[in-house]
Every structure is written in C-alpha cells, then in structure tokens.
Amino acid sequence: MRAISFFSGAMGLDIGLEKAGIEVILASEIDKSARATIAANKPNLPLIGDLMDYSAQEILKAAKCKKTDVDLMVGGPPCQAFSTAGKRKGFNDARGNVFLKYLDVVTEIMPKFVVIENVRGLLSASCGQNDGDGKGSALTQILNILKSAGYSVSFNLYNTANFGTPQIRERVVIVCALADTPPFLTPTHHENGGFGLKQWKTFKDAVEGLPEHKKTYITFPEKRLKYYRHLGPGQNWRDLPLELQKEALGKAFFSGGGKTGFFRRLAWDKPSPTLVTHPAMPATDLAHPVEDRPLSVEEYKRIQEFPDSWILCGSVLDQYKQIGNAVPCGLGYAIGNLVMRLMDGKELKAIQGFQFSRYNNTDHKTWNNKKQNKQLEMCF
C-alpha cells in the first residue's frame, strides 16, 4: 500500500504508517529544518516543498506514479488557523488556504483513502473571523468538499494516550474512504487498564533506559529556577507557599483560568502533558520531574515515540519545534493499521462505551447532532 505524505514535518505520522506496512512514496514540507531532517533520515525519498507551488500532476510526477498508484493521502495542514490559542481566522488565514489546497489535490488525485489530522479547535472553527455561519462552519465546509467528491467520512477527537503514547495529546483525525464509512481507530490502552486494554504509559516508561550522558536541552533562567527548587514531581505553582505563588506569577496570579502550565514539573507515574514547540515558555512549562531543567530533546523524542536513532536537524529550538509539532508515532500506527485492515477487507470490532477523549460531541455522529440542535434552537 502506497501513501503520499503532506505537511510531513519530522515524519512522526509517516513512521507510524510504515510500521503498519504502508510505503510512503513522497513527502512534502516547507520548513527548512524539517526538510533537512527528512533528507537526513530518508535520503532516497522524493521531497517537495510548499504544496501551494505544485499541481496534482506535478506531485504525481515527483512521486513517480500515476493516480491509480496512490492508495492513501495523509496530512496535518497547519493548525494555527484553527487553534483556540490563536485568532482563529480559519480559511481567511493563509494557512487555512493551504488546507483548501490540500483538499483540491485530494479531489483531483482521488486516492482510495484520505487522512486529515488537526487540532481540537477545528471542531468549532468558523470559515473566517467574521463568518456568519458560526462555530463549526470550517469543518462543515471540509466535510462537504470530501463528500461531494464521493468519500465516506468519519472523524473523532482522539487522546493519543489511548494508543500507547506516553502523552495526553488530543487531536482530530478525519478518515475518508471511497467505500463504506470508516470505523473509529482501535485503542490499545486505557487510563486504568479498562476494557481489557493495557494501562496508559507514563513518563517514566517513556524515558526508561535513556542514556544519562546524552541530553540536549535549553535552560531555565535563574530567576525561575528558584521556584522550581521548591517543587517535586507532578507539582506546579499551586504547590508553592502563597507568598511565593504571588511572587512567581506576578500579575498572572490574579488572572482567571487554571494556569496549570506555570512552573510545571512532570509526574513520573503519569503520561506527559501535550508537548509544545518550546518547553520553557512561562505558561506551558515542561520541566523534568526532579532535575532543574526543561525536558530534553531526547525526552521529547521518547514521548512522541520517535526512534532514538532518528536524526533531527537545525538548532535546539528547531528540534523542539519539529518534535512538538509532530504526530505521535503511535497514533500514526493506529491510523495505518485501520487503513490497512480496511484495504484488506478485515472486520474491525468497535469497543462499546469507550471514551476516546475527555470531551463530548467530538465524533461525526454526535457532532452533527449537536450542530443541528443548535441551528434549531436559533430558529425559535
């Protein structure tokens, strides 16, 4: 089974697909450091740049194949246009337009299967900042394009810890097929080992056996280290004495929100929080459980399930960014395993009652019902 990969980054999704038995025959990436990473690890893999610069025919030519040779197209279009942490301009954002370009290429090549990975914010994003259609209109537009082209579509919000990743990371995965509606991904883990599955992997599981002498990381400034020295594994600013809390957070102490990312040390016995592109930003700290430093690049790789031997190019911050933006390899494997089984016509049994994320109304069935109910409420 052959796949074309877009927005490939450090290739976390691709590693998972290949583990499931899918051959990636072309990668596409615009970031300079990520391109160098792809070239260093896959020197013989055809690699193109900005998707906006290529037609479907040019992509097929670079991949040295015909339309009928492409079984699968995968990609996680830039998520900043839909992230709840940004301005959420949707398709009015240049990065949102790349999403539409990706869909154009999909509907021209028409592979048997298509996979789209994105942030949770896609479920509630509008087509544009001033779009009158309101929340969810961006996803509605995406689904309409895919369905009009002949695809059956399913989607859900998945916590990657349920697929063996030692990390709480929730991502929307849309699976499309030129056949029946695809089922959900098959989980392998559960928080408490329920449903006959394995228990979630922890940070300790992830870093076990990692060489002590080989760690690449940035440092915290001394003015912040003074507070970390008061904290133990799994603690954050709330575990400081009250006066130190106020001193450490400054004006942020009086703002709303949970602020759990401030002065946060990871716990040994839990999965890591979502890895971000910089482990030492004040509101999203990712500090080692006991050492007075941020997580290392090597620990980042383990948490995202990259092989220790995987070469990362660019500066230390470039390396953090590549891994922080990546799809965990375990989620990539779950996606690849689902597509392979669909391709082979094998039966996939659903686990009844399994909750894939901490949020409700996040799959194609309940999301549509919720959206329709809201539209009805607006009519009365």
pLDDT at 205 over 80: yes
Q: In total, how many domains does the chain have? A: 2
Banded pLDDT at 167 (limits 50, 70, 90): very high
Q: Which of the following is catalytic: 65, 79, 127, 379?
A: 79
Q: What is the per-residue burial (b if ≥16 Cβ within 10 Å, else e) of 88-102?
A: bbbbbbebbbbbebb
Asked whether the predicted pLDDT for residue 7 surpasses 80, the reply is yes
- pLDDT attached to residue 78: 83
Residue-wise pLDDT tens digits, 66-99 = 999 999 999 998 866 565 555 545 566 555 589 9
The reply to whether 156 and 300 lie within a common domain is: no
Range of the domain at 157: 2-198+327-379
* CATH code for the domain in which residue 259 is found: 3.90.120
pLDDT over threshold 50, residue 131 = no
**Given this model, what pLDDT does residue 350 score?**
87
Residues 32 and 141 in one domain: yes
Q: Which residue among 305, 325, 345 closes a domain?
A: 325
Q: Is 218 exposed, middle or buried (0-12, 13-18, 19+ CB in 10 A)?
A: middle
Instruction: Report the distance separating Cα 7 and Cα 28, nearest Å.
Output: 6
| Burial degree of 172 (CB within 10 A; 0-12, 13-18, 19+) | buried
- CA distances 109 to 26, 104, 116, 182, 226, Å, are 14, 9, 15, 20, 56
185, 155: one domain: yes
Known catalytic residue at 329: no
- Mean pLDDT check: name the lowest of 138-142, 202-206, 316-320: 138-142
What value does the mean pLDDT of the chain take? 92
The verdict on 218 and 279 lying in the same domain is: yes
